[in-house]
Amino acid sequence: MKIAWVTTFYRTEELKNIRRLEREIAGLGFSDWHFYVSDKRRDNRGYAAGINECLCQAIDDNCDLFIISNPDISLAGLTANDLIAGKKHFDIWGGAMEQDGTIYYGGEIDKWRLSGGLINSKPADHFAERDFVSGSLMIVDRKAIDRLGPFNEKYFIYYEEVEYCFRAKQFGLKVGIDTAWKYKHLEVSNRANPQKDYLLARNRLIFFLKYSNLWQKIHEMVRSPKTVFEEVIKRPFLVNFFSLNLSSFFTKLLNFINFIFLVHFLTVPEYGIYTLVWAQVGLLSPLVDFGTTSYGIVHLPSEKEDRFRTLANLRFILSLIIFAVTIILAGALFHGSQKIFIYILVTSVAIFTNMMSGSYFIWNAVKEKIFISSRNSFIFNLLLISTIIAVLFLTRRLLAVFIVIFIYYAGYAAVNYLFLRHELRRFVFKFDPAGWLQIIKQSYIFVLIAFFGELYFNLDVFLLKGLKGEAAVGIYSAGYKFFDALLFIAASYNVTATPVFARLAKNNRLFISKIKKDLVFLAFVGSGTALGVYFLAPPILPFVLKSNFQPSIPVLKVVIFTLPLVLFNSVFLNILYVLKKAYLVIYVFIFQTIFNFALNWWLIPRFSFMASSAITVLSELTNLIILIFLTRFVWIKYYENRH
């Protein structure tokens, strides 16, 4: 009997497994065997395609029995007789498989859902029939090969053995397990592998749609909400991703509702003061983080608590410094208005709150529990904004609003500190300049980007205050707020697109294809949204805004056309990030800060807040032009260096 042993591999590091497997096969004692190996490192057509390639060669060589396996199995202690004993009972068979300390005895297919699952309970029979055997080692008789033909290459990898065995049983062939022998599958299946999870879910759906009957389809349709929930909840990445985005969306919505009540109950100058206070407090906020969030999520393994303490202590020191600088700047900028200075002093507690909640966010990120921070943030914002609205109803006083802000932000800072104390065995302050410097060396680039970005977006507010007064700030900020509420579209795009860009960056053709598709999609979303707001704002917003805020509507009709430009710029910024040219973004923002300042300084005295509205659009258009040329240059250099 002529034996064909068939396997395939994708990565160069798997070659050592191939060589080890070949030695183990030689030790089994087959008298006539041939080893067929498919190298799939280049064409990327999938596992099934590699197996089919080898099967064709083996069929041409008139082999009688086909043993198909992964390269990462161990045959220690087995003989040729062990493997071929099942030929008397089955047309396709395998043995018991040990993986991650658990022994599996073939698999069964759910009768309603057609999902394949391995069985870990040992059957009483020596030779037990099964719905399918694991593709890590399956033995197929020539009769089955001739009847069934090749494996279905549509699956790429996973589920091809399930379908092959399913088809075999439809033809009346026998599939089962010989429980008398066992092999080891060396794959570590409990590691987080989003790509594997995706392929399993995708391929189960392909299998289901092909072989299910009407009643099975109806059952799956009714069950679909539960199916989606099960797929999401078992993947920490998806749980964290959706919770973070939902929290961000609802927080944006809550803040927008808060804005509606603020402009309803406050005068235009009072809302201008409210905007100025938050602009001043937020001006240096990137320096509080100092890029430590990005650094922490990327570089801190969850088990290194001491490293996290160093990071958290650095954030605390930075918050003290930024608090002091914020108050000093407020005294210099608003020395003529004691009221605004006091409001800034009270609101600056948010600096410590953001520091502490950010540290807890980093901790949850490295523990893959971002959903906890997302939940806490949503609850905090819900309570805060509900209380602000209630206070506005009762008092209609700006001072009362800032008192509520102080109480809630101070309380939330304390709560996050207690959460960290509970999570960490020792969470105390330690003076560690060397450790802080080491972190700063790797995080400063993110700081500069965030700082100049913040300055670029808030500069017009400060110039409006100095050149035209608080009322102009209030009108401009009210119109801008509607546009700002839609920026979650850009944030959501960045979260989802950046990892894909990073994965495709090495493949020029796929990278370009992704960029083109995204630009078309964002053009549709951005332009459609902008036009919708432009035409719907005039008839709808008068019911939302008081009469003294009506001039905000023309502001919105202008700045809304910044949205498609921001979305386009997100694409090109992501390209620079994944090509490791983030420092160039700093130069773009520095240029835009100067450009923005010059135009606002020149035009605000003549056109007030409408000048700032038009300059906002013009600035993003200028950004787009610069980024197109910049990314094109970087792109050419990047691929020249690679080739």
**Is 448 contained in some domain?**
no
> What long-range pairs does 36-40 form, CB within 8 A, spacing at least 24?
36/4, 36/5, 36/6, 36/7, 37/7, 37/8, 37/9, 38/6, 38/7, 38/8, 38/9, 39/8, 39/9, 40/8, 40/9, 40/10
pLDDT for 500: 67
In this structure, are residues 183 and 73 in contact, taking their beta carbons and an 8 Å threshold? yes
> What's the CA gap between 106 and 93, in Å, rounded?
9
Cα–Cα distance for residue pair 339/325, rounded to 1 Å: 19
Which residues are CB-contacts of 223 (< 8 A; sequence separation ≥ 6)?
Answer: 113
Looking at the structure, tell me whether residues 14 and 138 fall in a common domain.
yes
415 and 507 co-located in one domain: no
> Residue 465 — very low, low, confident or very high, per pLDDT cuts 50/70/90?
confident
Q: Do 374 and 338 reside in the same domain of the chain? A: yes
Cβ atoms of 232 and 239 within 8 Å: the answer is yes
pLDDT tens, residue by residue, 75-101? 988 999 999 999 999 999 999 999 888
Whether the pLDDT of residue 260 is over 50: the answer is yes
Mark which of 153, 173, 188 sits at the end of a domain: 188
Following DSSP, what letter does each residue of 392-421 receive, concatenated?
Answer: HHHH--HHHHHHHHHHHHHHHHHHHHHHHH
Give residue 259's pLDDT band: very low, low, confident or very high (50, 70, 90): confident
Mean pLDDT of 273-285: 86
Residue pair 297/469 in contact (Cβ under 8 Å)? The answer is no
Report the C-alpha gap between 475 and 268 in whole angstroms: 7
At 272, the amino acid letter reads G
Residues 174 and 269 in one domain: no
* Closest by CA position to 3, among listed 51, 56, 61, 46: 61
Tell me which residue has tokens 């939302």. 544
Q: Which one, of 430, 474, 461, lies nearest residue 316 by Cα? A: 430
Q: Which of 165, 188, 211 is the last residue of a domain?
A: 188
Structure tokens at 619: 């600035």
Q: What pLDDT was estimated at residue 191?
A: 47
Of 5, 178, 185, 187, which Cα lies nearest the Cα of 95?
Answer: 178
Which structural domain range is residue 136 located in?
Answer: 3-188
Residue written as tokens 């430590």?
A: 292
User: In Å, what is the CA distance from 115 to each residue of 47, 215, 364, 413, 611?
Assistant: 20, 15, 33, 47, 61
Among 235-249, 276-290, 500-514, the minimum mean pLDDT is found in 235-249
23 domain residue, yes or no: yes
Judge whether residue 189 has pLDDT over 60: no
**What mean pLDDT do residues 346-365 have?**
87
What are the residues facing 128 on neighbouring strands? 177
Average pLDDT over residues 31-49: 80
Mean pLDDT of the chain: 84
**Rounded to an integer, what distance in angstroms lies between the CA atom of residue 180 and that of residue 587?**
69
- Output the pLDDT for position 290: 65
pLDDT at 437: 78
Query: Which residue do the tokens 């960290």 mark?
Result: 420
Among all chains, which residue has been given the structure tokens 């109806």? Answer: 218
Amino acid of residue 364: N
Q: What is the pLDDT of residues 488-524, one digit of tens each?
A: 777 767 756 666 676 677 777 778 888 888 899 889 9
Q: What is the pLDDT of residues 302-339, one digit of tens each?
A: 445 667 777 888 888 889 999 999 999 988 888 778 88
- Segment 580-588 mean pLDDT: 82
**Range scoring the smallest mean pLDDT among 31-35, 575-579, 628-632:** 575-579
Q: What pLDDT, on a 0 to 100 scale, did the predictor assign at position 91? A: 94
414 & 501 share domain: no
| pLDDT value, residue 621 | 94
Q: What are phi and psi of 83, to 5 degrees?
A: -70, -35
DSSP state, residue 75? -
Its pTM stands at 0.52
With 90 as the cut, is the pLDDT of residue 394 above it? yes
Strand pairing class (116-118; 33-39)? unpaired
Number of continuous H segments (helices) and E segments (strands) in the chain: 24, 11
Q: Does the residue 222 lie in any domain?
A: no
Instruction: Output b/e per residue, 327-363; b: 16+ Cβ within 10 A.
Output: beebeebbeeeeebbebbbbbbbbbbbbbbbbbbbbb
> Which secondary-structure segment (H or E) carries 98?
strand 92-99
Report, in this order, helix, strand and coil percent for the chain, each rounded to 5: 70, 10, 20
Mean pLDDT of 517-532: 91
Q: Is the pLDDT confidence value at 12 over 70?
A: no
Of 44 and 597, more confident:
597
Same domain? For 481 and 427 the reply is no
In this prediction, residue 614 carries a pLDDT of 93
Question: 383 pLDDT exceeds 90?
Answer: yes
Phi, psi of 72 (to 5 degrees): -95, 55
Residue 156 lies in a domain: yes
Residues 168 and 271 both lie in one domain? no
Closest to 21 in 3D by CA, of 39, 8, 11, 10? 8
> 183 is written with which tokens?
């092999």
Retrieve residue 541's tokens. Answer: 């917003």
Q: Is residue 277 part of a domain?
A: yes
CA 449 vs. chain centroid, Å, equals: 21
Would you list the DSSP string of 134-196?
A: -TTEEEEEHHHHHHH-S--GGGSSSSHHHHHHHHHHHTT--EEEEEEEEEEE---TTS--HHH
Paired with 97 in beta bridges are 104, 183
pLDDT at 301: 46
Q: Is residue 151 located within the same domain as residue 288?
A: no
Q: Give the list of residues 6+ apart from residue 587 with CB closer than 8 angstroms, or none.
A: none
The answer as to whether 174 is a domain residue is yes
Closest CA to 588 of 598, 600, 578, 596: 596
Residues 501, 554 within the same domain: yes
Does residue 586 contact residue 448 with C-beta atoms inside 8 Å? yes
Report yes or no: 585 and 448 within 8 Å, Cβ to Cβ: no
Neighbours of 242 (CB within 10 A): 14
Whether residues 180 and 305 share a domain: the answer is: no
For residue 41, name the pLDDT band (cuts at 50, 70, 90).
low
Contact present, 591 and 643 (Cβ < 8 Å): no
Same domain, 21 and 96: yes
Considering the domain boundaries, does residue 499 fall inside one?
yes
Whether the per-residue pLDDT at 231 is higher than 50: the answer is yes
Q: How many domains does the chain divide into? A: 3
- Contact by Cβ (8 Å): 411, 380: no
Distance of alpha carbon 106 from alpha carbon 129, whole angstroms: 9
Same domain, residue pair 137 and 286: no
CA dihedral 496, 501, 502, 508 (to 10 degrees): 160
The answer to whether residue 208 sits within a structural domain is: no
CB 148 within 8 A of CB 161: no
What CATH number should be reported for the domain holding residue 29?
3.90.550.60
pLDDT at 463 over 60: yes
- What is residue 132's DSSP assignment? B
What is the model's pLDDT at position 166? Answer: 94
